[in-house]
Amino acid sequence: MSVIEFEAKLKKWGNSMGLVIPQKKLMEGRFSPNGSVRVLLSSSDRLRVKDIWGKLPKGKKSAVSLLKEIDKELDSKFF
């Protein structure tokens, strides 16, 4: 599995939006026309502590163990 990361601007395309993937990035990841890709979108807004404050499960787990659980859950959803 190849993973590339880049920033792109969304553009209006009919009733949808699209983005252009730079050729250089496609070559880095060895992607080909008609190949399948998995897309993870993230807005450019920064995540703020006040947005997630109090949303973590309550318990007596350490911060490290909570972060490991979150990483594991996110990995299973996106990769």
Nearest to 39 by CA among 5, 70, 76: 5
- pLDDT surpassing 70 at residue 47: no
- Determine the pLDDT at residue 79: 55
| Digit-coded pLDDT (tens) for 2-43 | 778 888 888 998 999 998 888 888 888 888 888 888 887 777
CA 12 to chain centre: 21
Residues 6+ apart with CB under 8 A from 79: 1, 3, 38
pTM over 0.85: no
17, 10 Cβ separation under 8 angstroms: yes
